[in-house]
Structure 1
């Protein structure tokens, strides 16, 4: 890959995740403080990510894989997304906001697969080359959080009181506009199925051929565990920023980028850990990290126990990398050449789609249950729910999943 293409791919990945991290992290805080949304309404807004993940395979399967270049669809989706982000910036009521965010996530979620397609199309050895491109996406997420907290101070006490968090949508709207235009300069990525006479069925689009993998008991246990662990995961995405703001942490969005910094670190450590301790132990460590994280959130504070909150945030690298990245490696090894793509699509549909859709709804119901009359929450009780649930999933997985050797080439 020549240097010019590499730079363009890195910038594409940076902007892709800068846009997502630039508004999604503070969404709950924005909705609760700027437009007085209830916990149930906040859950509805976050669940749009899941609906986008569920609908995304249809966009990719019906359009990107058949008719148009991936980089052109990527550009069009981000241009349309820029308009919806700007409309969200102008919104003052949840009833108007919800259709915009739903439409936006239906447009955005397919772009996660499209940026990968554009990248992979330029690589001779994706296993070695992709991580050095993908890391710029994590850097984009980090930069967005640092700008919000430390440069613009939109999530400071005064910034929130003045309603400045709405500016996150304006900032990401401009970034989306730029990425939309920039996408048309990316390397050409023609549709793989163009010119074929074969018709795609719903089974093909959703990757249902991978259901054959359920004949393998271990894979079935892993699949079910993946759905279940995404239920407590949703609590973090939906409640972490509002929680940190409510208890008075300074620069909460910037400090939450510690999670992405640790993600880079543990991604580098994963090959060693995976090879040394095996797949089952790697997943168990990830599940245990979720339990510990939520216990730290439950009993930490912004005073003498502030270190507990920082550790809880920093555990994101283990929580995410050791479970999701390990899971992708495991799925790839189990699927074989025939089901590689469909198996990964099915796992994504199950986790970010079904699992987190359930999780966002439960998180909203529990947050509403522990809402006080003054608008504050009993956070200790709220965080104990995902901690307990993650612990139950951990025990079930430990008992039911049988050890097996997985081939992994780092």
Structure 2
């Protein structure tokens, strides 16, 4: 099989695992008695990302080939995610989880091993591409697109799949037994993790670099932190953390926000297609993401990392703003769609371009560690602080009424937009990398 195709399959499965629950988990947590803890469930992903990607990057640089470590991480993540599914099965459809602490612990274990796989997937792809004489800037984005396609496929699947009274079928009509409202989303994620575990061991070897006379920092894999001595890289990582504060806001709250319109007294809004298919609507974000990835080589070469990241920052402003003034009925739903379209620029021009930038700026011996550091700053420190802050804001303006999180959502989205604008302005003023 063509090497690019094999790497594309790896990316497809990697993000299919995540897409099964990331954007719809909030809807299930509301019915499982954990609605007020939504922010913490997404913050857990950030907390483990503070240390796990860096730790696994060190292991991948020094001890275990990255493609094998990627598979082992998915084995652990998949088994733990299936544990969450099994606890949901024992509780039953529409019932609260009896042992919430055990459920949170099992979920935490799963994401602790999943979050490093994002950086490991990049490291594996970059290494194999270079070993085969390919250009990462030109050849990686089309491969990464398949990751977004995988994310979309599982989003559509859990939005439409229904398991009711032992029968399985697909439906766009509102149904409390849809996967997006139940624990079945965790089964899909866990199963795909185990598939990727097996697939990783079919990939070519990514040989480890042997270095003689290494320092203690090199042996422990801490050399990546020396990048903070360079002003350019220090500013890049700091602003990566600040922009990372936006990453999980829509993943955590877009679903409950759009679904909350089902509790509206306006029947047109409550019965609208968008309000009853929040996961399907937000999948437009991933479609946009897939298209935007293909534009990254042109924008990086034409404008450089600063302009590309500025585009991302101000895209977040529009994304939050459109959510703040839209609604699921016509014509307001057009603003929801525009928000989802803008997501492609907001996410890709930061996450994917940032990964390429880090790969180009770092020595071969610390590339996996540096990718882990980038992951730590964005999905770790940034996402943790941002998600918890967003949770406090949402809980201040909104509250759960049965299955729906109702309240002053508009103020929440405008606060998020204002933050993204401040970060963008500051970044434009202080970050000035060398133009290449």
TM-score by length of 1: 0.86
- 8 Å CA contact 1:72–1:183 kept in 2: the answer is yes
The correspondence for 1:98, drawn from 87, 104, 107, is 104
| Matching residue of 2:143 | 133
Q: Secondary structure at the match of 2:182?
A: helix
- 8 Å CA contact 1:267–1:321 kept in 2: the answer is yes
Which shows bigger deviation, 303-312 or 276-285?
276-285
Cα distance in 2, alignment partners of residues 396 and 163 from structure 1: 38
| Matching residue of 2:182 | 165
| Matching residue of 1:236 | 250
Q: Secondary structure at the match of 1:44?
A: helix
| Matching residue of 2:296 | 270
| Matching residue of 1:210 | 227
Deviation at 1:146, TM superposition (A): 1.2
CA separation of 1:26/1:197 partners in 2, compared to 1, >3 Å: closer, same or farther?
farther
Within 5 A, what are the aligned runs for 1:298-377?
Answer: 298-304=324-330, 305-331=332-358, 343-372=370-399, 374=401, 375-377=405-407
- 8 Å CA contact 2:320–2:339 kept in 1: the answer is yes
1:118 is the counterpart of 2:124: yes
| Cα-Cα RMSD | 2.9
- 8 Å CA contact 1:53–1:110 kept in 2: the answer is yes
CA separation of 1:388/1:309 partners in 2, compared to 1, >3 Å: closer, same or farther?
same
Q: Spell out, residue by residue over 1:255-312, the C-alpha distance to the aligned partner (whole angstroms, 9 max, x if none).
A: 2221121112222223334444454433332222111111110110011211001110
Cα distance in 1, alignment partners of residues 392 and 281 from structure 2: 27
| Matching residue of 1:83 | 79
Deviation at 1:331, TM superposition (A): 4.5
| Matching residue of 2:24 | 26
Deviation at 1:380, TM superposition (A): 0.8
CA separation of 1:399/1:209 partners in 2, compared to 1, >3 Å: closer, same or farther?
closer
1:406 is the counterpart of 2:435: yes
CA separation of 1:398/1:7 partners in 2, compared to 1, >3 Å: closer, same or farther?
closer
1:147 is the counterpart of 2:176: no
Q: Spell out, residue by residue over 1:195-227, the C-alpha distance to the aligned partner (whole angstroms, 9 max, x if none).
A: 96746538733721111112x4xx544433222
Cα distance in 1, alignment partners of residues 144 and 400 from structure 2: 44
| Matching residue of 1:42 | 38
| Matching residue of 2:217 | 201
Cα distance in 1, alignment partners of residues 428 and 55 from structure 2: 37
Cα distance in 2, alignment partners of residues 185 and 143 from structure 1: 23
Q: Secondary structure at the match of 2:176?
A: helix
Cα distance in 2, alignment partners of residues 113 and 162 from structure 1: 28
| Matching residue of 1:188 | 205
- 8 Å CA contact 2:15–2:148 kept in 1: the answer is yes
Cα distance in 2, alignment partners of residues 38 and 273 from structure 1: 40
| Matching residue of 2:269 | none
Deviation at 1:354, TM superposition (A): 0.8
Q: Secondary structure at the match of 1:25?
A: coil
- 8 Å CA contact 1:266–1:318 kept in 2: the answer is yes
Q: Secondary structure at the match of 2:381?
A: helix
Deviation at 1:98, TM superposition (A): 1.1
TM-score by length of 2: 0.81
Cα distance in 2, alignment partners of residues 76 and 398 from structure 1: 41
| Matching residue of 2:311 | 285
- 8 Å CA contact 1:155–1:253 kept in 2: the answer is no
The correspondence for 1:56, drawn from 48, 52, 55, is 52
- 8 Å CA contact 1:20–1:141 kept in 2: the answer is yes
| Matching residue of 2:408 | 378
Q: Secondary structure at the match of 2:183?
A: helix
Q: Secondary structure at the match of 1:376?
A: strand
| Matching residue of 2:267 | none
